[in-house]
């Protein structure tokens, strides 16, 4: 275990490697009401689940033998000397704001099971994974609740992105949950206690298709936010659907098709929030799936592209699949673990390896401190 000196934050142990695995998520109801602009006045809620598709973030201390100080591998490979030169916005802002002194050298490698910018919360999953990996590098654990709050701070306060709060919570905590966003506080997570048979029934009805379109969630959300004042009835109704969807799932005698029909109503309301939410190609694909037998569905995330989720009775799924030959179906299951350390490799001895790894930064670097939330 790391040797700590005090709550002040110095220690003499370096992990070899940390790998964080953070799930992606699908949201059924309530999207839009999770934005601070809305819930601070009206309250908000969403019904969502994490799924068995993941973001992986590998993080290790970079030996000082290299000519650069930071290596970041994502859709490009960055090898730079200063934090300010890092192009990945989340990495740059986290390393630039969570250390009082120059951060130690790091190598950060990103991988994912599915494409980013596609409505599954991958941007927040990356932020959560990076924060969890950073604390793990210092032998510290951070709760999933605090991880979500920290990710909100990074995306909304540091990056100034016009995004909501559901993704950060969903991917941090994991599982099938109702998430309430309180007017006078952060959020409350209520897991839905489905029996195995009911869970399997829900999973057996879900069909996820990639539209091949990727987009910026912040740009779409900005357009939707302009219409919030004019679309209050839509948002209030979308919030009510969280209660109705929850009641359907918790009632073993209720048909999952009723859940799908409610999703269809929610999609119609979401589509009405902004012209940026959908497109003619997405509308055509949605209509084809409905005609082939889907009980309902929606475009996941802010809109504009990404993944379409449908609820389809198992005997009608071949017809729906055949009706969407241009799209790629992705099989999914729900998951319950949330963001976690997939590997936490120990073994380097600070006394002998500190010079090699960071010019003795292991003995002087301050442990990043969690922000205090009121």
Query: Which helix or strand (DSSP H or E) is residue 246 part of?
Result: helix 232-250
- Closest C-alpha to 119, from 206, 220, 225: 220
First-to-final CA distance of the chain:
32
| 92-113 residue pLDDT tens | 999 999 988 888 899 999 999 9
Please give the average per-residue pLDDT across 115-144, as a whole number.
Answer: 92
pLDDT band at 363 (very low <50, low <70, confident <90, very high): very low
Prediction pTM value: 0.88
| Pairwise CA distance, residues 334 & 174, whole Å | 9
Is pLDDT above 70 for 7?
A: no
Is pLDDT above 90 for 372?
A: no
Name the most confidently modeled range: 61-70, 240-249, 303-312.
240-249
Could you give phi then psi for residue 311, rounded to 5 degrees?
A: -105, 120
Is pLDDT above 60 for 362?
A: no
| 53-92 residue pLDDT tens | 999 999 999 988 999 999 999 999 999 999 999 999 999 9
Torsion of CA 223, 225, 227, 229, to 10 degrees: -170
| Pairwise CA distance, residues 60 & 364, whole Å | 17
- Which domains does the chain possess? 13-341 (3.30.230.120)
What's the DSSP call for residue 53? E
What are 23's strand-pairing partners?
54
- Closest C-alpha to 151, from 135, 140, 139, 138: 135
Directed axis angle between helix 166-173 and helix 122-137, to 10°?
Answer: 50
Mean pLDDT of the chain: 87
Q: When comparing pLDDT for 102 and 49, which is higher?
A: 49
pLDDT value for 101:
86
E-state strands within 218-339: 296-299, 307-311, 328-330
Beta strands 77-80; 106-112: pairing state: unpaired
Q: Helix (H) and strand (E) counts for the chain?
A: 13, 14
pLDDT value for 215:
59
Owner of token pair 């991958």: 122
pLDDT value for 220:
61
pLDDT value for 14:
55
Q: Give the distance, in angstroms, between the CA of residue 361 and the centroid of all CA atoms in the same chain.
A: 32
- Give the lowest-confidence range in 19-28, 64-73, 206-215: 206-215
pLDDT value for 219:
61
pLDDT band at 356 (very low <50, low <70, confident <90, very high): low
pLDDT value for 164:
92
């Amino acid at each position: 275990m790391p040797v700590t000196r005090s709550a002040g934050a110095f220690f003499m142990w370096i992990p070899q490697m940390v790998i964080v695995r953070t799930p992606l998520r699908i949201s059924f109801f309530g999207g839009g009401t999770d934005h601070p602009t809305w819930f601070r006045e009206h309250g908000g809620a969403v019904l969502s689940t994490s799924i068995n598709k993941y973001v992986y973030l590998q993080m290790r201390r970079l030996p000082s033998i290299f000519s650069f100080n930071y290596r970041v591998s994502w859709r490009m490979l960055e090898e730079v000397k200063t934090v300010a030169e890092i192009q990945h916005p989340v990495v740059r802002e986290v390393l630039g704001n969570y250390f009082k002194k120059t951060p130690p050298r790091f190598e950060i490698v990103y991988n994912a099971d599915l494409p980013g910018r596609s409505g599954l919360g991958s941007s927040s999953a990356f932020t959560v994974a990076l924060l969890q990996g950073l604390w793990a590098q210092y032998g510290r654990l951070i709760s999933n609740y605090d991880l979500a709050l920290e990710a909100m701070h990074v995306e909304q306060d540091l990056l100034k992105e016009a995004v909501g709060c559901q993704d950060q919570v969903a991917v941090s905590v994991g599982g099938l949950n109702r998430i309430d966003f309180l007017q006078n506080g952060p959020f409350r997570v209520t897991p839905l206690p489905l029996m195995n048979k009911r869970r399997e029934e829900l999973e057996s009805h879900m069909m996820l298709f990639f539209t091949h379109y990727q987009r910026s969630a912040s740009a779409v959300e900005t357009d939707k936010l302009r219409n919030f004042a004019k679309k209050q009835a839509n948002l209030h109704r979308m919030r009510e659907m969280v209660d109705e969807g929850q009641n359907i799932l918790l009632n073993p005698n209720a048909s999952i098709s009723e859940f799908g029909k409610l999703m269809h109503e929610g999609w119609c309301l979401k589509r009405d929030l902004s012209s940026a939410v959908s497109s003619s190609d997405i509308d055509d694909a949605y209509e084809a799936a409905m005609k082939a037998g889907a009980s309902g569905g929606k475009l996941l995330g802010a809109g504009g592209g990404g993944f379409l989720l449908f609820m389809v009775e198992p005997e009608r799924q071949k017809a729906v699949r055949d009706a969407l030959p241009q799209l790629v179906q992705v099989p999914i299951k729900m998951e319950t673990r949330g963001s976690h350390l997939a590997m936490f490799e120990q073994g380097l001895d600070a006394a002998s390896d500190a010079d090699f790894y960071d010019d003795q930064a292991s003995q002087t670097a301050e442990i990043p401190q969690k922000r205090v939330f009121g």
